[in-house]
Structure 1
Amino acid sequence: MSRRYGGNPAATVILIVADIAALILILWIAFYLFKANPANNLVDWVHDSANWLAGWSRDLFTVDSANWRTVLNFGLPAVVYLLIGHAVAGRVNHS
């Protein structure tokens, strides 16, 4: 992964953090849509983490469908974390 940013370790760390944040949010969307068992420890941890990561966008969209509401309210922060994280990592790499 560090090759992707020319070997700059700071850029690599930023990229990994952004990717992990987005992955957690996307996992929660998948768990919700496929009705994963909420009593499972992994599902519970992903849900809690996703709620924390998406705290700023919670209830931003109030569509009637619970599935679409989850996709929008957790998908937007995933995209934002990816865009900002990759932009910052690219900037750090080029400075």
Structure 2
Amino acid sequence: MSPRYRSRSNQAATVLAVVADVTAVILGLWILFALLDANPANDLVNVVHDAARWLAGWSHDLFTMDVEWLRTVLNYGLPALVYLFIGHTLAARMRRG
């Protein structure tokens, strides 16, 4: 494998890992905002909530506990872990390439 190809593969792997990290941070930030009762009228809180809701759309209401904080942690924490696991696993495979 040529060094040029390997360099591009490493760059793509790094980008993939960073995207996975950013998605997990957004989801984690929403969990934090929800647990701390952040002001829903705040623009930052709205942007983070909209992004987190979109990123966790596939797992929305997967868990339907009566306890709201636990439901939030599970419904947004699971996608964060899945994105981290898949993103970093694919990035590692690309680097080994």
State whether TM-score is above 0.5.
yes
Partner of 1:3: none
Which of 71, 74, 77 aligns to 1:75? It is 77
Q: Which runs of 4+ in 1 moved over 3 A?
A: none
Structure 2: stretches of 5+ with no match in the other structure: 1-5
Matches within 5 A, 1:45-56: 45-56=47-58
Q: CA deviation at 1:50?
A: 0.1
1:10 aligned onto 2:12? yes
How big is the alpha-carbon RMSD for the aligned residues of Structure 1 and Structure 2?
1.2
SS of the equivalent of 2:40 reads: coil
Which of 16, 28, 31 aligns to 2:30? It is 28
Structure showing greater radius of gyration is 2
What's the TM-score once normalised by structure 1's chain length? 0.92
Instruction: Return the alpha-carbon distance in structure 1 between the equivalents of residues 64 and 47 of structure 2.
Output: 25
Structure 1: stretches of 5+ with no match in the other structure: 1-5
What's the TM-score once normalised by structure 2's chain length? 0.90
